[in-house]
Amino acid sequence: MAIVSIVPPQRPIDAVVRIPGSKSITNRALVLAALAEGISTLSGVLFSDDSHWFMDGLQRLGICVEIDEPGTEVRVHGVAGGPPATEAELWVELAGTAARFLLAYATLGQGHYTIDGNARMRQRPMEDLLATLNSLGAYCYSLGPQGGLPVRVEACGLRGGATGLAGDKTSQFLSALLMVAPYADHDIELTMTTPLAATPYIDITIAMMREFGAEVQCDQYHRFRIAAGQRYQARTYQIEPDASNASYFFAAAAATGGRVRVEGISRQALQGDIAFLDVLERMGCTIRAAQNWLEVQGPPQLRGIELDMSKLPDMAITLAALAPFADRPTTIRNVALIRHHETDRIAAMTGELRKLGVQVEEYPDGLTIMPGSHHAATIDSHHDHRMAMGFAVAGLNIPGLRIDNAEAVGKTFPDFFTRFAALSGA
């Protein structure tokens, strides 16, 4: 288990950084390219634990995925439909996106497939996706005691039709269904039975489907209609830097009153998490933007805020890491779904902040963080990449802070700590 010490900067941070490609866009591009007709070239691909297991799963399903290592380019030989393999066993480790997207893709095939992951992944929700796929004509079922992984798919294609889908636990269920829906036998209409979480991720899915050649009719994030018979076409696709992972570098500027510029991304990025810049502005930061870079200048004193983060759930930890250094309490609301992520993130944030001597009040859907006292401690990442990266930000202002199980960053940003240490000249 890796332990990393975070070294506070000796002078104001003044840095220019580049961030690897977006996990969300990489994984969507991979499944769309597999479904497409022809060879797609994907540039700026994220190479991490999550994308490794996604590409491995596609290869086991019979898709040719050519990886240009050590570069960032991948060529996917699309098969104009479902997986060619008639039998496969897939392992996704802790990659929720891979589990949900590959499950939906597997139902388009003609064969027998099993999807499994590690102990925490077996606890993460799958039941709602299984139920909706089965109502659309699939036959897939849980082999596990908790209704999740491992999952068995007896695939014979998707019939289509109209059905409901719960959307409060994760938006990944809906994204998975939307992307495979054009290849069903009949049109698909999905009506949300619970409010849809994290809608910006659905915006990414719909926009990328359009770029590959398929349209979705969206009625106020409540009802979605996808016409059968649409087909994706292979293309060259550039994946933008990961806005979620950029947030830790922007937050470093905010925490220290320094300046950080992230290259290769704009405020018009496809990813909804770019809106974390609006959060930083509310906290007193100055944002500068150009066509291909974004820059954050931290203020002399951060302002505490109260915020509904239902559209930015992955940014909750980043905000929580800044909150102890604000001038007033910070409250994060409407993120109950993050209790079902790599760890129960609300409970994990609460526990680790308290280790630092920070006063925290926990709610079912969020928390309030009091500014003021804090001291060094060893933070447990809970094997969650966002916990490891988020609390690294707090370490810029708390000498002696260490991150245990730091290797968790390999999920989406393998060399995060090397790049982060460079901010402080460490």
Q: Is 70 exceeded by the pLDDT of residue 127?
A: yes
| E strands, 148-216, in order | 151-156, 161-165, 188-192
Q: What is the mean pLDDT of the chain?
A: 97
> What is the reported pLDDT for 373?
85
The span from the CA of 140 to the CA of 148, in Å, is: 11
308 catalytic per annotation: no
Q: How far apart are CA 248 and CA 312, in angstroms?
A: 14
Strands (E) located in 374-420 = 378-380, 402-404
Asked if residues 165 and 128 have their Cβ atoms less than 8 Å apart, the reply is yes
Average pLDDT over residues 215-233: 98
How far is Cα 152 from Cα 143, in angstroms, rounded to an integer?
Answer: 7
Count of other CB atoms within 10 angstroms of residue 208: 22
pLDDT of 245: 98
Domains of the chain: 3-21+242-424 (3.65.10.10), 23-238 (3.65.10.10)
Q: Kindly state the average pLDDT of the residues 293-318.
A: 97
pLDDT band at residue 98 under the 50/70/90 scheme: very high
Give 30-84 pLDDT, tens digit per residue: 999 999 999 999 999 999 999 999 999 999 999 999 998 667 799 999 999 999 9
Residue 425, pLDDT score: 74
pTM for this prediction: 0.95
Give the pLDDT score at 424: 83
For residue 418, pLDDT beyond 80:
yes
| Predicted local distance difference test score (pLDDT) of residue 1 | 64
Greater confidence (424 vs 196) lies with: 196
Amino acid at position 297, single letter: Q
Q: Active site residue: 49, 128, 273, 314, which one?
A: 314
The pLDDT of residue 12 = 86
pLDDT of 7: 96
